Chain A
Amino acid sequence: MQEFAQEFRDAFALILAGDAELLAIVLLSLRVSLFAVFFAAVIGMPLGAALAVGRFPGRGALVVLVNALMGLPPVVVGLLVYLMLSRSGPLGVLQLLYTPTAMIIAQVVLVTPIIAALSRQVIEMLDAEYAEQMRSLGLSRFATVPVLLWDGRIALLTALLAGFGRAIAEVGAVIIVGGNINHVTRVMTTTIALETSKGNLALALALGAVLIAIAVTVNALVSLLGQRAEVREAMRNA
């Protein structure tokens, strides 16, 4: 028990001292996940918007597929991205395996369905309310999309934060495609897994605390944004 207490003390000492190794790992994690969320948003939001307002054959099946892909097992995604990027894979020539770029690609695959599915839901609900009014004002379906994206911005931001929460906490995919190489592809989650197995609990606990702080902050932001939207709706209905 005393040993655990010592590990906790060491962990907080690492955080308070701004340990260089710890900081580098946190920054790499943030860089990888923020880039992943950015690219996932670039792909996922237009896809969500197209599924919400578009009417084309196979739309229903595509909606079911995107929803289902939200539950993709990270290790399977890691394995598939590994096969694509490995030397004998179709993208092997790019030599991306065991680089932060490979980790970004894996996280993009994981996060895009989340952002696309949540965006579709947000935009579809808003479209149900706005569609007739926009048509009445002379806007085409295509011209309505930017209006829906802008007016749904708070809910869409929530979708982005949900995607970021998934990306930053993910371990299975990034450990396969990143290889957990020290100072190159070692992020918070993979380091926690490695250091715990080595018995170096101080660093693992310190990273765990930072990860929890990030997760709590992200969730608090989601909650605050949701509350703000709810308050405005409540004021409208008062």
Chain B
Amino acid sequence: MRDLCNDTGVLIEATGLRLVRGTKHLLDIPHLRLGGPGPTVILGPNGAGKSLLLRCLHGLIRADAGQVRQDGIPLDGRQRMRQAMVFQRPVLLRRSVAANLDFVLRRQGLPRAVRRERIAELLETGGLSGRERQWARSLSGGEAQRLAILRALATEPDVLFLDEPTSALDPGATQAIEALVKQASAKGVRIVMVTHDIGQARRLARDVVVMIGGRIAEHGDALHVFDNATHGTVRRFLAGDLIF
């Protein structure tokens, strides 16, 4: 089994994380440690709490109890600026493709010439060269999601959270997104991605977190979890049974 806790890259830890609505425990995570280079894939059926966990790790949702730490430091505004997130449905500004990227580059205080160069580089990375002036919201689903990922990468994050970025896409568009994710990971961006596509998890994950009912049922090296999961429901889920 590969070492999941070697402390290369960013270390994200959650302790005592709990989110309760009414009588329902949406999240109950005593301890989660995401070390190593990743990518980490969070798997689980609908309603397992995958997206909630991602939002808690990114600081978009404040848990009722518990703490998230990044490299040992409690998640604050400064730590959050080291992270970026891409959502299931890409949220693109009602502007051109280039303006969507320029929006984040401007916030970094880069001069215009540098921004233009950076936009060209990013679009080339995402296979969107020559589309600078196109209205972003007229892009196809796959292109829109690629632009959302490029915009997230434009912030030069140490950690990139992805919440089911390919759930509504065809295999070709999915492949393009996965290539972009792999490329970012190879460049040292720590990827934490939610999906319920087991095939995608097999293709991308170095380590896997499987969630059932707001709890972590399995966490470990991807190959180990896929072949030797001990949790009964997880074994059924990974075997393709319908779990709800």
Contacts and interface: CB of A to CB of B under 8 A. Distances in A.
B60 A138 contact: no
A235 B93 contact: no
Q: Identify whether the interface residues of B are mostly helix, strand, loop, or mixed.
A: mixed
A137 B107 contact: yes
A147 B93 contact: yes
Interface residues of A, number: 15
Nearest to A130: B91
Interface stretch (B80-88, B170-178, B182-190): B80-88
Nearest to A235: B138
A132 B163 CA distance: 12
From B80, B83, B91, B104, name the one whose CB has the most chain A CB atoms within 10 angstroms: B91
Interface in A119-145: 129-130, 132-133, 135-138
Contact of A233 (B77, B93, B103, B137): B137
B94 interface: yes
Given A136-B58, A232-B137, A235-B137, 10 more contacts: A133-B91, A135-B60, A136-B60, A137-B84, A151-B94, A151-B95, A232-B94, A232-B135, A232-B138, A236-B139
Contact of B135 (A136, A138, A151, A235): A235
Nearest 6 Cβ contacts at the A-B interface: A133-B91, A235-B138, A236-B137, A151-B94, A136-B85, A138-B81
Nearest to A147: B93
Contacts of B15: none
Q: Is the interface on chain B under 10, 10 to 19, 20 to 34, or 35 or more residues?
A: 20 to 34
B137 A129 contact: no
B125 interface: no
A114 to B, nearest CB: 23
Interface in B62-110: 77, 80-81, 83-85, 87, 91, 93-95, 103-104, 107
Contacts of A236: 137-139, 144
A6 to B, nearest CB: 53
A132 B87 contact: yes
Nearest to B59: A135
A232 B137 CA distance: 7
Contacts of A138: 77, 80-81, 107
From B55, B85, B94, B103, name the one whose CB has the most chain A CB atoms within 10 angstroms: B94
A130 B58 CA distance: 16
B87 A137 contact: no
B155 interface: yes
A197 B80 CA distance: 70
A138 B81 CA distance: 6
Interface string B195-212: 000000000000000000
B53 to A, nearest CB: 15
